[in-house]
Structure formats: C-alpha cells, structure tokens
Amino acid sequence: MPDHAIAPAGKATGPPTPSASEPAAFRAEFPVFERLSYLNAGTEGPVPRRASDAAHRRLDLETARGRCGQEYFAELMALRDRLRDAYAGLLGCAPSELALTGSTTDGVNTVIAGLDLRPGDEILTTDEEHPGLLAPLGRARRRYGISVRMVPFDEIAGQVSPKTRLIACSHVSWVRGRLVDTAALAQTGVPVLLDAAQAIGAIRVDVRALGCDFYAASGQKWLCGPEGSGCLYVRKERLEELLIPWPGYGSLADPEQALELAPAEGAARLDLGFPTGIRSAWCLAAFEVFANAGWGWVHDRAAELAATLAHRLTELGLEVLPRGRSTLVSWKAADAKGEVGRFAADRFVVRSIPAFDVVRASVGAWSSEDELEALARLAAGGRS
C-alpha cells in the first residue's frame, strides 16, 4: 500500500512534505526528547505534542458541553469509525475485519475465549512470549482442560501436531526482536493468532500477506497512543467461528433484543466497550504524525537505526541477541536491572528483561544517531 494511505480519518492524503520526513523535524514532534533519550517504545511510546493537544481539546469540549445528546454520540461514533479505518488501513485489511480493543492481551483473550476449545485440544506457543499472551493461555488450560505446548521460537511451524487447534505466538519477539516465519505458519493449515505488540507501527504489516487468522495489537507502544487502545484483526472467513465472549451494547445488531444476542455486522461485534472521544482523538492525532512523515520512511529509518545500534554494540564487544529487521535491540548483561538504572542516571530510558538477562532498547524513527552512539558507549562501560 502507498505510504500515505493512512490518514487519521482513514482517507488518503497527499505525499508528505519534505520537512516532515527530516529526522530532526520528526523528533521535534515528541517533547520527551527535550529531556530524555527515550528508547522504550516497546513498552510505552513517546507522546506526540499534537496527540496531547488533541486529547486536551476533546476533554475541554466534553467538559464545557457535556456528554449527552445526539450530536455528542454521533461524534463518538464518527471518531470510532475513523479509528477503525486507520487501524485497518495500516494493517491492510477491511474495517469490517477490525475490532477495537484496549490492548494486545484484550485481543488475545477475545480469540481464545471465543473459540470452542475442548479437552484434548492443544495450543502451540513459543519460549519467547510475553506474559500478556501466556496468561490467557494459562487460563484456557485451566478453564477448558486443553494443553499448552511451548516450543523454541524458530521451530514452532514444525511442531504442529494433530491436536493443535491454534498457534499463538509473537510476530516480533519482545525478547530478541526477531520475526517469526509467518509463511511457514500459514502453510500448516492451523489457525494462527499473532501477538503484534512489537510489530504494529514498528514494521510494515500486511495481514493478508502474512496469512494469519487473528492479529492482536496495542496502540500505546509504537503507535504512541494512550493506554487502553488497541485492535484485533479477524480474517473474515474466521469471524463466524468465534463466539462473542464479552457481549455488550455495541456487540448487538439490535440492542432492543439484547437477550437474543444477534451479533452486529463484522468484527465490530467483538469491540471491547465504546472508545472514548479523548482516546480516539489522541490515537488519530498520533496516526497523523506518522502519516505526515510517511509510514515507509518511519519504518525504514527505525529499522536502519536499530541495525546500526546492534552492529555498534557488537563492535564494542557486547553480546547482541540474534534479531531480525525490527526495532528492538537486546544485549546480554550480568545485571540487567542494574544496567537500566545506570542508563537512567545518564538520562537514557531502556528496559531489562531479567528472565533472559538482557537489556533492551527500542529504536524509533525519532531516535538520533548521536544518542545511539552514546548509548552503545555507555553499554560498553563508557560515559555519554
């Protein structure tokens, strides 16, 4: 899809202006960089100034005008539809295949609770999964009597058995930043649920090309939205296989006949609650920042900077974990938690993953070459 295909209203815009794609101009959209070298978008993305402004304007409007009446609810629904269009455009799917959720884990729970799992069924996952994916699998094991089998990340496609009802794993490993072989997963013929927390907004994604059935994503990381934002792609051929695990007003074709549970059209039946105007306004304004710069430029610059950091860390003698073309760079540290504190003293924000004894940096298009060089030197024992 063209880089400018994502606009906050889900409509195409013209090509970005040259200044929008200049690294310094793009970085200036995020006030946090005035005081910190923020390298932890894999947990929470930096907030663009215009997203903060949009959220405050919406809050001021609702405070002054009240939250009732036809106009108010029409605006909320319009914002909801624009947000659905924006997520769908970014993922390369139809808006009717896109549910609005509050997190990646919300999407994972929706799929697992919506499947008709039974004792003897198996869910296949990997040894590099986030607790946000593993916890729903643990609940399913306890609730439905299924088995959950954990295998090495790079071997999952070859581990499918006749009992495997679902493959559930990360598109991009939150530990190493490597990508799962989605083509091999699709060839298994088993439904595939991908955790997209470290993919959406960070790398190019086309869910149809991936061949997955479900794609659960969050909005607060690489899309720089608020907590409580996210989406779930459900391939249209799979929609009728899912029960509505958390039905509510918006799930229904006719709310006046709620006990009948006749579902709304499309994946909107799986929406988790009704997105607030403030949350939608924030998300859409953040989308605009990326769209103006050009999604292709954003993805390419982030991947190139991350690769440069990984190479530099290796040059300086650190053990960088094998990775793919992603925005995450992890390296071994004897005291990962202590290292994070040492970085913080120099105004670098990174994170540790103690279970794997690594420090992880999340590199975005907003990052600068100078700060990554300083980070590498600091990691090697120098001072920035």
Mean pLDDT of the 206-222 span: 98
Q: How confident is the model at residue 173 (pLDDT cuts 50, 70, 90)?
A: very high
* Residue 84 domain-assigned (yes or no): yes
pLDDT at 8 over 90: no
pLDDT at 13 over 80: no
Residues 196 and 307 in one domain: no
- Look at phi and psi of residue 92 and say left if phi exceeds 0, alpha if psi is from -120 to 50, else beta: left
Residue found by looking up tokens 């298009």 in the block: 365
Distance CA 27, CA 378 (A): 22
pLDDT at 57 over 50: yes
- Structure confidence at residue 11 (pLDDT): 38
Mean pLDDT of the 32-49 span: 98
Under 8 Å between Cβ of 104 and 132: yes
Residues 111 and 191 in one domain: yes
Mean pLDDT of the 74-83 span: 96
Residues 228 and 276 in one domain: yes
The identity of residue 163, as a single letter, is K
Distance CA 115, CA 3 (A): 35
Mean pLDDT of the 24-37 span: 97
Supply the range of the domain harboring residue 330. Answer: 296-379
- Quick one: DSSP state of residue 102? S
Cβ atoms within 10 Å of 342's Cβ, excluding its own: 16
* Residue 367 domain-assigned (yes or no): yes
Residues 203 and 319 in one domain: no
pLDDT tens per residue, range 246-293: 999 888 999 889 998 899 999 999 999 887 999 999 999 999 999 999
Distance CA 76, CA 34 (A): 34
Q: How confident is the model at residue 76 (pLDDT cuts 50, 70, 90)?
A: very high
Mean pLDDT of the 45-60 span: 98
Scored b (16 or more CB within 10 A) or e, 284-293 reads bbbbbbbbbb
In CATH, what number is assigned to the domain containing residue 305?
3.90.1150.10
Residues 229 and 101 in one domain: yes
- Structure confidence at residue 384 (pLDDT): 41
Distance CA 307, CA 323 (A): 9
Beta strand pairing status for 358-362 and 328-332? antiparallel
